[in-house]
Amino acid sequence: MTRIAIVVGSTRPGRVGRQVADWVAEQGRKRRDAEVEIVDVADYALPVFDEPHSPLMGLYEHEHTRAWSAKVAEFDGYVFVTPEYNRSIPSALKNAIDYLYKEWNNKVAGFVAYGSTVGGARAVEHLRLIGAGLQLAGVRTQLNLSLVADFESFTTFVPTERHEATLAQLFTEVVAWAEALAPLREGPQ
């Protein structure tokens, strides 16, 4: 079974990202072709990158890095749920991504973003570039949510059928790519 992590990228108090991630996971659990699990960056309390070696080497000295590595390595793909902060992703998400390298390789990413002006589209643009550097294939379909139109009082997420349809397509692409990339993750036979 294809395993997909729903990665919550915001760690800010009062964040709406967890609401969105819970809904994404709920939709994902309706599928028969994948298992989903929420992976909340906030739960790992990663300090600003503090490993003495490059993640390319995989020589992790700190327990927080080993725990993060083990969790990320469990999955075949990811759906990142991120706000747009200053036309990019939150620093906590970037930091968490930068801790690792091999754990992301030859896997797939989908993107669910939210923001006040363009629904987090610029955050996704940055995540796509970051992912490419990690050999993380991004799917075409993405879900962009407006804090103005898709949230009551900017704080309560109210998904619609349109969102469900887009997310279903996003999951279909993530699962298909995860399966297609599986031989690369397994290595030479």
Q: Calculate mean pLDDT across residues 82-103.
A: 97
Q: Calculate mean pLDDT across residues 68-95.
A: 97
- Whether the pLDDT of residue 52 is over 90: the answer is yes
Relative orientation angle of helices 161-186 and 17-28, to the nearest 10 degrees: 70
AA identity, residue 147: L
CB 145 within 8 A of CB 163: yes
Per-residue pLDDT band for 74 (boundaries 50, 70, 90) equals very high
**What pLDDT, on a 0 to 100 scale, did the predictor assign at position 114?**
92
3-state SS track over 124-173: HHHHHHHHHHCCEEEEEEEEEEECCCCEECCCEECCCHHHHHHHHHHHHH
pLDDT digits (tens, 9 = 90+) for 53-73: 999 999 999 999 999 999 999
For the chain, domains (ranges, CATH) are 2-186 (3.40.50.360)
